[in-house]
Structures are given as structure tokens and as C-alpha cells.
Amino acid sequence: MSTNDKVRIEKDSMGKLEVPSGSYYGAQTQRASLNFQISNLRFPRSFIRAIGAIKLCASQVNLDLGLLDSKLSIAIMGAAQEVMDGDHDSQFVLDIFQTGSGTSTNMNANEVIANLAIEKLGGVVGSREPVHPNDHVNMGQSSNDVIPTAIHIAALASIKNRLIPALTFLNSQLKEKSDEFMPVVKTGRTHLQDATPVRLGQEFLGYVGQIERSISRIEIACGELSEVALGGTAVGTGVNTHVNFSTMVCEKLSEILKLDINQTSNHFQAQSSLDSIVLVSGSLKTIAVSLMKISNDIRWLGSGPRAGIGEIDVPAVQPGSSIMPGKVNPVIPESVCQVAAQVIGNDTTITIAGQSGNFEINVMMPVAAHNLLESIDIMASASQNLAEKCIAGLEATTKGPEMVEKGLAIVTTLVPHIGYDASALIAKEAGETGESVRDVAIRRTDLSEQELDSILDPASMTQPLINE
């Protein structure tokens, strides 16, 4: 026995080990903590909540199946509920960069819950009596099915409860601006060059469509997350678990988490691959690309205020320069672009992780979990922030309407009347002389001023002009 009152001696299959006396985790967690001192990255709250939920429901089901004593089960469920509620997050001490199966973190949960249950029953923390982390808390389970299940549940909950609401709110703000800006006619742009007129509201309608489809894509991807690996135990065969265990646990998980969670139809696929996570990450990457496009457009449209495009005013939320007084930068869209870049990078990591399955298990589950859950979390926060602190306060300036009549691309509507080549010559002359297309067209065509006013009306160019 150690003479140091800051530690206690525990025993596992590898022998005795000193464990911090105030900890609820045990020897296996401590060994992993010593082995993997690599980063400051830890599993997030969403994952800890998910694994707590799995342990709670597993204990209840094992009781219902007559496999676990009621006194032990009730104590385990009480402890697991505390883990779910976040009362013991400080006890989850392990680095993301650990054993590829996540066994260390599964045992971290088993040991914390076991010791909490032991304490509730009046036992000695660390004794493994009367509650054993493997025999009781982990009954009917393996790290190989618990960890991928926890990833799916954590991601599904975060998407349903955080990301989709944030994207929905962002979409509502974009739709409001689209309606507000619909009367504003301005110069369209292709290749960063002037194009035919477009309504500012139509530009924003494009952003609305991007976010609508983003929501649809991630909702479809959630179907993949709803299927979980639990029940396959070590290699997918379900050895050492009751035939009804997984179905019953999934039913209870669905009930307490208010999510649609189902046992996979193919345990071998579910445990040997991260294909579902790769798919979900791909959807998140697509959303990130959309957010970056929207944010960069806002940056460009608000550029200036005098030497840029300046067709919208972006809300000023903080001083923009440490040296240039009065400078205000589009900091909110810039932050979204950085988040998008991170999500795209995370997807690359997840893609590589998905390729790292061999036979019956993937050995990059912890890093895949970290990157997936980080992507969901930061994109939800960024979307909400963009909507609240930027989109809601956007205002149209007069610069767009003022410049549209000076544009050369409005010559396009002359093509049905005088042909492409004649229209091109008018555009070229207007560009060289600095005149408007209308002024040159008065000289170079037989069209009356009234006809030209109608043909070259910028507002009319924002919709099809040729009827049957």
C-alpha cells in the first residue's frame, strides 16, 4: 500500500497501479492517461453524454432481461445518469489520440460509473466490489460496438438539436433579406466581371437555396447515424450478449434522448467501417462550402466603403484596425470562412480515418469522433452567429442601382432586336467613349428612344423577356 495519501492502489489484469485517490476512474484509465500524453484534446460533452446514455440503458435492459441484480442495476443507472448530466466530466481525462478502438475511453466510462455506483452502495471506491466495471457496467457490450454507437448518437443529437436549428434560423434571416432586397436592381457579375442586371434579393434567394439544400442533405445523412453498431460486441457476431439486448437498448435510447435510434441491419459493416461517419462528414463539408461562398459574397458586396463594390453595408461589430482609425472589417463572415476551412480539413482527417479499417474493426474511431463532433459544433455556432450578428443587420446601399445603368452588359437585351455582332460593337464603343449603352444605341440603331427605354430597362432584365 502506498504511503502517499494522494493515491490509492488498484489492480487490473496487468497488475497493481497507483491511481489518484480522488478520482472515480481506475487503473485502466490511469494506464491510458500515462500512455497517451499527446495533446489537450478530450472527448466533448456530447460524446460523454452519449456514452453515459448507453451505459444507463444497457443496465436497465440487463435488469429487464434478468441478467443483472436490481440493486446493482439501480446504482449503475443512477451513476450513468450523473455522467449523462455532466456531473463528472472532469473524470474523463483521456487524450483523443489513444487506442484506435476507443477502448480506453469506454473503460474510462465503465470505471467512473462503477466507482460511483460502488460509492452509492456504501462500498470502497476502487475495490471493484460490489460493482465491477467490466462484468456489470460493460455487460453485453464491447468497446468495438459502444464507441461507434456513441459517435453516432452524439453526432445525431448535435445535428438535430444544434446544427439544424442554427441553419434554419440562418435561412430565415436570409429569406427576410431576400424579400427586403427584391426591389433593388443592381449589376450581376460572372467571372468577377459585369453581367446583366440582377435583383439583390435574387442573389440572396440563391443563398436561401444553398441553406435549404444544406438542411435537406444533413437530414438525409442523419438516417445513417440512426443505425448503430450496439449488439455486435467484439467482431459483429454478438458474442456474450443477449439476442434481444441491442433492440431493447435502442428502444430505451430513443425514448430518453428523443431520437430515432435503431440496431444496424449489418453488424459486420457497422463495426468494421466508418462509412456512415464519412458520409455525414461529406455533407458537413458541403455545408461548409456553401457557408464560405455566402460569406465571401457578403465580404465582396460590402467591400469599400469607397473603393470597393459597396452594394451592401455590413454591420459594424468592432474596430477593424490597430493602425487605421475608422476602419471596419467584415469580421463575422471572416470567422465563418475560417470555420468552413476547419470543417473541410476535418473531413480530410475523417476520410483518412475511414480508410483505416482492417477486417473487423476500424482503428481511428477517436480521431474520427473528435473531428466529426467538432465540425458539427463549430458550424452550428458559426451559422447562428452569422445570422444574428451579420445577416440580420445587412442594409442595401444606393450604389448598386446607381451603377447598373452605366453597365455595358445591359446591351444583351438588344441582341434579339439588332443581333449579337451589332450589339457587341455598341458595347465596345460605349466602353471606349465612356458613354452609356443607350446613348450609343440612339446613334447606331433605328430604334426609337421610347423603344430603347423599354428594351434597356434594367428591372425588365431580371426575368425572362421572350414569351411564346
Q: Is the pLDDT of residue 2 over 80?
A: no
Residue 273 sits in the same domain as residue 415: no
CA distance 441 to 452: 8
Question: What pLDDT does 3 receive?
Answer: 46
CATH of the domain at 63: 1.10.275.10
Question: What pLDDT does 173 receive?
Answer: 98
Question: What pLDDT does 12 receive?
Answer: 87
Q: Among 399, 434, 452, where does a domain finish? A: 399
Tally of domains within the chain: 3
Question: What pLDDT does 5 receive?
Answer: 79
In-domain check, residue 286: yes
Its domain, for residue 70, covers 23-139
In-domain check, residue 250: no
In-domain check, residue 5: no
Residue 177 sits in the same domain as residue 299: yes
Residue 360 sits in the same domain as residue 427: no
Please state, for a pLDDT cut of 90, what percent of the chain lies above it. 94
CATH of the domain at 177: 1.20.200.10
Locus of grid cell 461548409: 288
Residue 393 sits in the same domain as residue 423: no
pLDDT mean over 280-306: 97
pLDDT mean over 63-79: 98
How confident is the model over 136-181, as pLDDT tens digits? 999 999 999 999 999 999 999 999 999 999 999 999 999 999 999 9
Dihedral sign for Cα 247, 250, 255, 258, please.
negative
pLDDT mean over 118-138: 97
Residue 343 sits in the same domain as residue 202: yes
Phi, psi of 185 (to 5 degrees): -95, 130
Question: What pLDDT does 431 receive?
Answer: 94
In-domain check, residue 248: no
Q: Is the pLDDT of residue 72 over 50?
A: yes
Residue 152 sits in the same domain as residue 184: yes
Question: What pLDDT does 98 receive?
Answer: 98
Question: What pLDDT does 466 receive?
Answer: 65
Question: What pLDDT does 320 receive?
Answer: 86
Residue 453 sits in the same domain as residue 381: no
Question: What pLDDT does 458 receive?
Answer: 93
Residue 375 sits in the same domain as residue 412: no
Three-point CA angle 70, 102, 356, nearest 5°: 140
Residue 204 sits in the same domain as residue 190: yes
3-state secondary structure of 392: helix
Contact 23, 9 (CB under 8 A): no
Angle between helices 45-64 and 70-85 (to 10 degrees): 160
Residue 392 sits in the same domain as residue 416: no
In-domain check, residue 289: yes
Beta carbons within 10 angstroms of residue 90's beta carbon: 9
How confident is the model over 193-252, as pLDDT tens digits? 999 999 999 999 999 999 999 999 999 999 999 999 999 999 999 999 999 999 999 999
Q: Among 383, 399, 415, where does a domain finish? A: 399
- 412 vs 1 pLDDT, higher one: 412
Residue 364 sits in the same domain as residue 442: no
Q: Among 95, 114, 139, where does a domain finish? A: 139
In-domain check, residue 255: no
Q: Is the pLDDT of residue 358 over 70?
A: yes
The DSSP call for residue 3 is S
How confident is the model over 307-321, as pLDDT tens digits? 999 999 999 999 988
Name the CA radius of gyration of the chain, rounded: 30
Question: What pLDDT does 307 receive?
Answer: 94
Distances (CA, A) of 55 to 137, 161, 175: 7, 22, 43
Q: Is the pLDDT of residue 468 over 60?
A: no
In-domain check, residue 169: yes
Q: Is the pLDDT of residue 86 over 70?
A: yes
Question: What pLDDT does 97 receive?
Answer: 98
Please state, for a pLDDT cut of 70, what percent of the chain lies above it. 98
The per-residue pLDDT of the chain, averaged, comes to: 96
Question: What pLDDT does 465 receive?
Answer: 64
Q: Which residues are catalytic?
A: 191, 321
Q: Is the pLDDT of residue 306 over 60?
A: yes
In-domain check, residue 349: yes
Distances (CA, A) of 154 to 142, 182, 187, 253, 443: 18, 40, 45, 12, 69
Residue 216 sits in the same domain as residue 347: yes
Question: What pLDDT does 1 receive?
Answer: 35
CA dihedral 408, 414, 420, 426 (to 10 degrees): -50
